[in-house]
């Protein structure tokens, strides 16, 4: 399993995700352009001293990323119109793809993915007014939820 971040903007989110990837021994793919430099102090601080355990690959754009991962299924995550996370069955070779913190994944990237998943949120905003609900989960939180569920399914089926 791998994680991919499409044009991440916030270094602390990427650092937190890198730390989660280190904990689960998962490769982290970063699809440029990034909203920060890889030397960013906030990125490094969020990843703590686990950076030697993180396997990171950078790609100049989504098409180069997709070409290099031809034999893997790309599973996109979005708050809308996806199969609920609990209803999707993961495979050990899946790549979990997450979009930018501000705009998510563009439609053309979702269309080039193999599946679309949504994480259920009971207080999801149903209108354009912010006082009606929550617009989305934090990127590193959503990624952590997805990594945990995928690993639970793959490695701990039937309570084993």
Whether the pLDDT of residue 103 is over 60: the answer is: yes
Whether the pLDDT of residue 39 is over 90: the answer is: no
Domain count, the chain: 1
Whether the pLDDT of residue 47 is over 90: the answer is: no
The CATH number of residue 42's host domain is 3.40.1280.10
The DSSP bridge partners found for residue 97 are: 4, 76
Segments forming the whole domain that contains residue 8: 2-159
What pLDDT, on the 0 to 100 scale, is given for residue 63? 96
What pLDDT, on the 0 to 100 scale, is given for residue 49? 72
* Alpha helices (runs of H) in the chain, residue ranges in sequence order: 11-24, 41-47, 62-68, 107-111, 139-155
- pLDDT confidence bin for 147, thresholds 50/70/90: very high
What pLDDT, on the 0 to 100 scale, is given for residue 74? 98
pLDDT, average across residues 100-105: 92
Instruction: Using alpha carbons, select from 152, 147, 157 the residue that is nearest to residue 21.
Output: 147
Q: What percent of the chain has pLDDT over 70?
A: 84
What pLDDT, on the 0 to 100 scale, is given for residue 50? 72
């Amino acid at each position: 399993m791998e994680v991919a971040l499409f044009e991440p903007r916030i270094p602390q989110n990427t650092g937190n995700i890198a730390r989660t990837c280190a904990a689960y021994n998962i490769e982290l793919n970063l699809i440029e352009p990034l909203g920060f430099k890889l030397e960013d102090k906030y990125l490094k601080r969020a990843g703590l001293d686990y950076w030697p355990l993180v396997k990171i690959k950078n790609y100049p754009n989504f098409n180069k990323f997709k070409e290099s991962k031809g034999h893997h299924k790309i599973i996109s995550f979005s708050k809308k119109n996806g199969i609920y996370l609990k209803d999707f069955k993961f495979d050990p070779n899946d790549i979990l793809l997450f979009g930018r913190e501000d705009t998510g994944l563009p439609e053309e990237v979702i269309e080039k993915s193999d599946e679309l998943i949504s994480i259920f949120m009971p207080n999801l905003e149903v209108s354009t007014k912010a006082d009606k609900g929550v617009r989305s989960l934090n990127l590193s939180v959503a990624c952590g939820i997805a990594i945990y569920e995928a690993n639970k399914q793959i490695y701990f089926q039937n309570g084993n």
